[in-house]
Amino acid sequence: MGQEVETTRMGSSFVYASARTPFGRFNGALADTRTDDLAATALKGLLDRSPGLDPGLVGDVFWGNANGAGEDNRNVGRMAVLLAGMPVSVPATTVNRLCGSSLDAAMMAARMIEVGDAEIAIAGGVESMTRAPWVLPKPSRRFPAGDVTAVSTTLGWRLVNERMPAEWTVSLGECNEQLQEKFSISRERQDEFGARSHRLAAEAWKKGFYDDLVVPVPGTDLGQDESIRAGTSLEALAKLKPAFRPDGTITAGNCSPLNDGASAVLLGSASAAATIGRDPVARIAGRGWAALEPQQFGYAPVEAANGALERAGITWDDIGAVELNEAFAVQSIACVDAWLKLGLRDAEVVNAKGGAIAIGHPLGASGGRILGTLAARLVESGERWGVAAICIGVGQGLAVVLENVA
């Protein structure tokens, strides 16, 4: 005779709060701050948003990180928990899905809550691209006679397997030049998109939108995202030289820079509100993921977002806000163009507070940033539905649908 097992309907997960550091430039204001300290700063800043919450009641911490070769090694999520002063009883894991790491972390935390394994969880991510080390492969024998090369772990492919097809392992910039050719997206459109990102990010900071989302990093005087150039003009962007092809369209002005920073998001069940001491702001209504040929990674958010909408039971007609990580202007434009054809009401709902071209893209932290920004935008606007989406190197994309419950 078998034992009867009680089954319950899967619950919902909610975003309660978010916090992030300002994003610093490569070799900029955060260059002297260790990666694990950046992570701890975002985590502590998040907990400070909910002073009524006993940190020991956090069921698990999921932390995104793309490089993991330096100060972010040895499970930087757990390091963040300890450095932030949380109880040693709070566990943590580190997630690596490259640029999508912290959005993936949030998806994992949400699933944990929805299946009832925890009432409260934290997701976040960190990257110091400035402090990413050079690495040396170990020799196959002692004292090799030839030279060895130190390989940068800052961005992109390194120590590539020879069995990988060459077309899969081209630079991220070359991947997007190919995308530009496929969709005929002009240099002018890309520069316009880049200038818009800087303009909207600067406006959002000036109007105070980011004031409650960003926490200072101890030992620095960085007050806002360091890569934003408020006076960026089309004329200035047009003068920049192509970065990846002599006759290419992608420049330093229409793609995201290298950055340092961290982000964190507090998630919980509906019943966790009393424990946390605040009401939730958004429900995680749908999740999506997709994979394409590695060189087509910039377009992967299209199907990832479509899948998230389908799981949420809504369509693009319902969406009032989109946060799309702007790795490159060309891939962002390609994604937005596709969504407009599927019913997105207006391109202006995408990244209305600026995007990664201006704000920055510290790889492991960007997913948490766009999710927190999306929740705040829904609260501000009163729109019901929003999408956070991100492209991921080696051909992947992730997306989350939020429903405003504030």
Q: What is the pLDDT of residue 7?
A: 35
Q: Which of 5-14, 296-305, 337-346 has the lowest mean pLDDT?
A: 5-14
Q: How confident is the model at residue 286 (pLDDT cuts 50, 70, 90)?
A: very high
Q: Residue 145 — pLDDT band, cuts 50, 70, 90?
A: confident
pLDDT digits (tens, 9 = 90+) for 192-218: 999 999 999 999 999 999 999 999 999
Look at the block and give the residue holding tokens 């009641």.
57
Does 376 have pLDDT greater than 90? yes
**pLDDT tens string 238-278:** 999 999 999 999 999 999 999 999 999 999 999 999 999 99
Predicted confidence at residue 356, as pLDDT, reads 98
Q: Name the pLDDT band for 144 (thresholds 50, 70, 90).
A: confident
- Residue-wise pLDDT tens digits, 147-171: 889 999 999 999 999 999 999 999 9
- Confidence label for 5 from pLDDT (cuts 50, 70 and 90): very low
What percentage of the chain carries pLDDT values higher than 90?
A: 94
Beta-ladder partners of 290: 397
349-360 pLDDT, tens digit per residue, is 999 999 999 999
User: What confidence category does residue 377 fall into, taking pLDDT thresholds of 50, 70 and 90?
Assistant: very high
Q: Identify how many contiguous H helices and E strands the chain contains and give both numbers.
A: 11, 12
* Predicted pLDDT at 368: 98
Q: What is the pLDDT of residue 140?
A: 84
Residue-averaged pLDDT of the chain: 96
Distance in angstroms (rounded) separating the CA atoms of residues 104 and 64: 8
- Look at the block and give the residue holding tokens 């749908």: 286
Long-range contacts, 71-79 (Cβ 8 Å, 24+)? 71/34, 71/35, 71/36, 71/128, 71/131, 72/35, 72/36, 72/39, 72/126, 72/127, 72/128, 72/364, 76/35, 76/36, 76/39, 76/126, 77/39, 77/124, 79/36, 79/39, 79/40
User: SS3 of 100, please?
Assistant: coil
Confidence of residue 146 (pLDDT cuts 50, 70, 90): confident
- The pLDDT value recorded for residue 6 is 36
Question: Is it the case that residue 3 has pLDDT exceeding 50?
Answer: no
Question: Which residues are CB-neighbours of 176 under 8 A, at least 6 positions away?
Answer: 244, 250, 255, 298, 327, 328, 330, 331
Q: pLDDT-based confidence at 141, cuts 50/70/90?
A: confident
What average pLDDT score do residues 368-385 get?
A: 98
| The pairing of beta strand 92-95 with beta strand 60-64 | parallel
pTM value is 0.95
Q: How confident is the model at residue 4 (pLDDT cuts 50, 70, 90)?
A: very low
Averaged over 222-235, what is the pLDDT? 95
Percentage with pLDDT > 70 across the chain: 98
d(CA 145, CA 245): 36
**Residue 8 pLDDT > 50:** no
Beta strands in 207-281 (DSSP E): 259-268
C-alpha closest to that of 388 among 10, 15, 12, 11: 15
Active-site positions read 99, 361, 391
CA distance 207 to 200: 10
Residue 364 Cα distances to 1, 69, 97, 106, 139, angstroms: 50, 13, 8, 12, 30
Contact status, residue 325 vs residue 391, Cβ threshold 8 Å: yes
Instruction: Tell me the CA distances in angstroms from 28 to 73, 213, 223, 290, one per residue in order.
Output: 22, 21, 13, 34
